[in-house]
Amino acid sequence: MKREALTAEKRTITGKKLKHLRREGILPANMFGKGMKSTSLQLPLKEFRKVYNEVHETGLVDLTVDKETHPVLIQNIHIQPITHIPLHADFFKVNLKEKVKATIPVLGVGEPKAVTDKIGVLLQSLSEVEVEALPADLPEHIEISVERLAQIDDSLTVADLKVPTGVEILAEPAEMVFRIAELVSEEAEELAAEEEAAAEAASEEGAEGDEKTTEEGTPESSDGESKGESTEDKASQ
């Protein structure tokens, strides 16, 4: 299978001067790997983004530096949080005969019966899993059908995931991947909101009633004090 390819050149610019490279559409990068010293590189940002959109972090790339080609995986991309433009990337040089670990996305295929029948809603609690395989055997993603999930609490775990020969999933087999949860309808949400509003109104009315009782009791106490004072005046006379 033909691999994506990139060409980079060694980089001498470092530190604050890197911003000048980025303004010119150049992406700073590093290449590292087992038994080799890290090498500072630079390459056109446009070409990098084009290849990365195809392979992401699981596809092998043939990276050529000084006319020498290296099989690499793209890793540790630093993204500008506002523009989402890559600021830096690492290229991990691999040995095609040695297994590597990588994080692979998990995709649900189809629509669960519970969703079709409007019984529940599909929740995905695990969106990616770590696997180990030879670099050339790493899958781009792992697909699993969710169509058979028909009832509330029906679920799929890591043990249900199927991967190609030579790929080992490192996550716990019992870990939940997909689950059917109870469907909360708009009517149920409206009813809950009405009940909450009614409870608040009742609480406010109760508070007003307590205040009214207290206010009504005050004059009686005052009258009592007045009567008491009159009796004391008469007694003194």
pLDDT of 53-105, one tens digit each? 999 999 999 999 999 999 999 999 999 999 999 999 999 999 999 999 999 99
Residue 231 pLDDT > 60: no
Reported as a single tens digit per residue, the pLDDT across 104-158 is 999 999 999 999 999 999 999 999 999 999 999 999 999 999 999 999 999 999 9
Residue 223 pLDDT > 70: no
8 Å CB contact between 65 and 33: no
8 Å CB contact between 30 and 38: yes
30: nearest Cα among 67, 63, 68: 63
Q: How far, in Å, CA of 149 to CA of 122, rounded?
A: 9
Q: Cβ atoms within 10 A of the Cβ of 61, count?
A: 19
User: Looking at residue 129, what DSSP letter applies?
Assistant: E
pLDDT at position 209 is 56
Q: Is 158 left (phi over 0), alpha (psi -120 to 50) or beta?
A: alpha
Surface-to-core class of residue 30, CB atoms within 10 Å of its CB (0-12 exposed, 13-18 middle, 19+ buried): middle
